[in-house]
Chains A and B, each alone.
Chain A
Amino acid sequence: MINTGQSAASQGLLSCHDCHALWKQSEQHTHCQRCGSALHLRKPNAMPLTWALLLTSTFLLVPANMLPIMMITSLGRGEPATILGGVIELINLGMYGIAFVVLAASILIPVGKIIGLLIMLVTLQFGLTTNMQQKMMMFRMVHWIGRWSMLDIFVVAVLVALVQMGNLAQISGQLGATAFAGVVIFTMLAANAFDTRLIWDKHSGTDSE
């Protein structure tokens, strides 16, 4: 007898991660018969994988902010630019709106994303299943907004391609940009590796295998 209102796992069912087809656990398919994806009750190694990716991106946050992301050379004088420096420059130009967009995309979102994922990991680790609706909302937000952090990398990409005026003015990309792209990609991968169902397993009191 299958009861709705419980987790599918507790009712002997398993849903495919890719196409969401429901399969009976007793059938023991290794791959989904509908879409061909590998079947798992929960994402394998969700917790260690998310931790590892999250720590990597946290470490990369340091060089991403300390190292210059680009070098602006004009009339023979080179000046390195960092992410924060770029924001300050926009503020000095009086462009507060754009300064805020860049600040949000380059610093607030990546840091917020790391904190958001940490909250989810700690929630899972200690089974703190209060305010789950809010936590899920936050996780979805973190997931959705993550790619917007690539903004600063694309700005540098465009500047590097456009400002190639020899000794008059020249912009070149620097290592900080690579580190920053690393932060963005590893936080995106971390969010993908996490499985929110693991938290709900604790919430409803049904243990996952």
Chain B
Amino acid sequence: MDKITDTEHLIACNECDLLLERPVILDSQKAKCPRCGSTLISARHNSIERTLALSIAGMILIFPANLFPLLTLELMGRTQSQTIFSSAMGFYYDGLWPLAVLVFMFTILVPACKLLLLFWVSFSLQFSIRLPARRFALRSYQHLDEWGMLEVYLVGVLVSVIKLVSMATLVPGIGIFCLGALILVTTMSSSMLDTDLFWHKIAEADHD
């Protein structure tokens, strides 16, 4: 009898638990918690469509970014090239396999999984196809987000260049430009993702 208990029009702040009337916001606006300042919801224009497009672009770019060398070092007529994978393997050969696993995870596995999961969810919502495990996929994406560290890795490559440039010749490879593009696309995809909208769409579809 009491419709007051319906919680659809309410929202609780994720960081301080303040209960609020769900703010109505326009595309590309953000609503912040008045008490602690955290972002409550952040609406994105065409969030599903754009996330889908960006995740596809990312899944394509991830191949050249990994397959082509990022840098080639030339020293006294000898050359050595490096890819993302070989920088993880370097630690493995030095006997530091836990570190090799971590570098592999943060620079290859997690970024790839993030793109795949995002593609899975946005594809399913865009075309209203009930793909299995999409709730799990979106949840996993949210938890994996901060463990993808491609941009930190790219800065690491640049710092290495600065360290080596005085003693050897360094030639940038195609890989580094693909990596730059991949970082741009993944960063845009995570900022285009409106999780609140995604969860609402999933709930709506599950109700039908």
Contacts and interface: CB of A to CB of B under 8 A. Distances in A.
A3 B19 contact: yes
A21 B200 CA distance: 9
A36 B87 contact: no
Q: Which 9 A-B pairs rank lowest in CB-CB distance, beginning with the nearest?
A: A154-B156, A160-B90, A8-B12, A200-B16, A157-B87, A15-B12, A158-B160, A22-B7, A161-B82
Interface of A: 1-9, 11, 13, 15, 17-24, 34-37, 86, 90, 93, 95, 98, 101-102, 132-133, 136-137, 140, 146-148, 150-155, 157-165, 168-169, 172-175, 177-178, 181, 185, 188, 196-197, 200-201, 203
A196 B16 contact: yes
A134 B160 CA distance: 36
Nearest to A21: B199
B78 A165 contact: yes
Nearest to B102: A181
Max chain B C-beta neighbours (<10 A), residue from A2, A136, A157, A200: A157
16 contacts: A8-B18, A19-B199, A22-B7, A35-B135, A35-B199, A98-B162, A157-B87, A157-B90, A165-B75, A169-B167, A173-B91, A178-B98, A196-B16, A200-B17, A200-B18, A200-B36
Given A8-B19, A136-B36, A163-B73, A19 B5 contact: no
A178 B103 CA distance: 11
B90 A2 contact: no
B146 A136 contact: no
A72 B132 CA distance: 50
B155 interface: yes
Contact of A102 (B83, B106, B159): B159
A109 to B, nearest CB: 11
Contact of B94 (A7, A15, A90, A172): A172
A39 to B, nearest CB: 13
A86 B163 CA distance: 9
A35 B7 contact: no
Interface stretch (B56-64, B136-144, B184-192): B136-144
B154 to A, nearest CB: 9
B203 A18 contact: no
Nearest to B161: A158
A95 B162 contact: yes
A147 B146 contact: yes
Given A6-B18, A164-B80, A177-B99, 4 more contacts: A4-B21, A150-B153, A153-B99, A181-B102
B103 A153 contact: yes
A174 B78 CA distance: 25
B103 A36 contact: no
Contact of A37 (B88, B139, B146): B139
Given A150-B152, A161-B87, A20 B96 contact: no
Contacts of A158: 70-71, 82, 87, 156-157, 160
